[in-house]
Structure 1
């Protein structure tokens, strides 16, 4: 049985695995982009709010403003953690894709090597058959000449 055919199912599975990991990476990159966008929106909002010229007319309003700025700051910290976790997740998936791609490449190289070996075997067999046919023709021609000479 040809070795290259036996490796084809493994190649298909390796390709499916690589495709699956690539899809997961794309999803995680999308999530990271969403987290980064949200972080930028929060930063912009915090900056705009901090720069607004709202006059605090009473100690209660000043305390409310300070408490709101603290909540914004806490939201920024939380979103930054989300971005960091997302970025780490993207890095992990990128590494998994690299490994899946290498695995598939090794199988492709192995299959190609088997195909080269199989072609050599077939070529040698074909050459032997042509040599046998040539030798039979030569014997037949020699026998025919002997019979004609006799």
Structure 2
């Protein structure tokens, strides 16, 4: 009996695990937000640079400008990949959190069920005790009401 007490440590560990996964998710989300901000900054800079009217006075300057634009495009593409990887990590962490939450809910339901069963056992025992007490009193009252049987 007292299965609910045995499940309490499991329930505590499940809560700690859920909290830990929630912290991990928050951290991954912060990382994603940071990478998204960097991507937006890079895109803005690349658009501004590409749109700026710089007077190119020589073929070398044109070549340098084109090479710089290519490097910017490369940086934007790399940052997009980084954002996608971080987004996938956030989704994986979100799935872990959902699983941890479900596991904890199952344990909570099991503990509630055990506690309900334990309450029923106690209530039945209390009722039986009350019935026994009532029956003893009735016998005592009946014996007290029957004079002359003391032979």
Residue-by-residue CA offset, 1:105-149 (whole Å, 9 max, x unaligned): 111111011011100000000000000111111111111111389
Q: Which runs of 4+ in 1 moved over 4 A?
A: none
2:125 maps to which residue?
125
Does residue 59 of structure 2 align to residue 44 of structure 1?
A: no
Find the aligned partners of 2:6 and 2:58 in 1 and give their Cα distance: 81
Q: Displacement, 1:21? A: 0.4
Find the aligned partners of 1:47 and 1:138 in 2 and give their Cα distance: 97
2:21 maps to which residue?
21
Tell me the SS of whatever aligns to 1:147. coil
Q: Displacement, 1:55? A: 1.1
TM-score (norm 2): 0.96
Q: How many equivalent residue pairs?
A: 150
Find the aligned partners of 1:3 and 1:93 in 2 and give their Cα distance: 32
| Aligned residue runs from structure 1 range 1-150, under 5 A | 1-147=1-147
Find the aligned partners of 2:25 and 2:40 in 1 and give their Cα distance: 22
Find the aligned partners of 2:17 and 2:33 in 1 and give their Cα distance: 24
TM-score (norm 1): 0.97
Q: Which runs of 5+ in 2 are unaligned?
A: none
Q: Which runs of 5+ in 1 are unaligned?
A: none
Residue-by-residue CA offset, 1:6-30 (whole Å, 9 max, x unaligned): 0000000000000000000000000
